Homo-oligomer: A and B are copies of this chain.
Amino acid sequence: MVLDTATAQRQVLDAADALFYERGVQAVGMDAIRAASGVSLKRLYQLFPSKDTLIEAYLDRRDALWKSMLAEHVDAATDPRARILAVFDFLSDWFQQRDYRGCAFINSFGELGTVSPRVADLASQHKEGFRQALTELSKAAGAADPDRLADHLILLSEGAITRSAISGTADPAARAREAATMILDASLKS
């Protein structure tokens, strides 16, 4: 069975995503990705010349996918305050996925943050992107200090992400949403 470059790459990334996310990057060997993707080892290495390259591609794709899912939820609402709360509905949906295992960037950072500056950078950029999205939403809602409000909201979000992973329940999303409404009430005097 011969595959064109684009589909081979997609199959490898699909396999890498599933395995890396479920078991962590270090616990997954290139041979497991070969087996799961159905792509030969030779081809795998000409698509991604090293495991590090593949890890980077895995994180890049996660980042793009995550951002688009977030935007989808947020854009379903029009009221500025509802758009902020939609973030927590997005989290709730995410946490309910059967294979939810926390944030890939937090997990990868924990595994490789000291040893791989590249992974540390990607994690930092991913979180910075989230922070900027929250800042925009806060501005649109007329917050007096949008940066500060964004900081408060991101703390609730990140807390929910890790708590949901460790407890194995989606509940933290609802708790974070409650806390967010309190913070919004105090920050948006309108």
- Chain B residues lying within 8 Å of A175, measured Cβ to Cβ, are 148, 151-152, 155
Known: A24-B111, A110-B24, A115-B27. A163 touches B167 (CB 8 A): no
CB distance from A89 to the nearest CB of B (A): 16
Q: Are A112 and B159 in contact (CB under 8 A)?
A: no
- Residues in B neighbouring A151, C-beta threshold 8 A: 172, 175, 179
- In the complex, chain B residues whose CB is within 8 Å of the CB of A23: 114-115
The count of identical subunits is 2
- Bound CA–CA A108/B61 (angstroms): 24
Q: Would you call A127 and B182 a contact (CB within 8 A)?
A: no
User: In whole angstroms, how far apart are the Cα atoms of A183 and B73 in the complex?
Assistant: 26
| Interface check A14, CB cutoff 8 A | no
- The reply to whether the CB of A143 lies closer than 8 angstroms to some CB of chain B is no
Q: Write out the residue numbers on chain B whose beta carbons fall within 8 Å of the beta carbon of A155.
A: 155-156, 159-160, 163, 172, 175-176, 179
Q: Is the CB of A162 within 8 A of B152?
A: no
Which of B112, B152, B161, B186 makes the CB contact (< 8 A) with A185? B186
Measured CA separation A71–B22 after assembly (Å):
35
Is A154 positioned at the interface, with any CB of B under 8 Å from its CB? yes
In contact, A114 and B101 (Cβ under 8 angstroms): yes
Check if A30 is an interface residue, CB within 8 A of chain B. Answer: no
Closest B residue to A147 by beta carbon equals: B175
20 contacts across the A-B interface (CB closer than 8 A): A23-B115, A24-B110, A24-B112, A24-B114, A24-B115, A26-B26, A26-B111, A27-B111, A102-B110, A105-B166, A110-B111, A154-B159, A155-B156, A155-B163, A155-B176, A156-B159, A156-B179, A162-B162, A182-B183, A182-B186
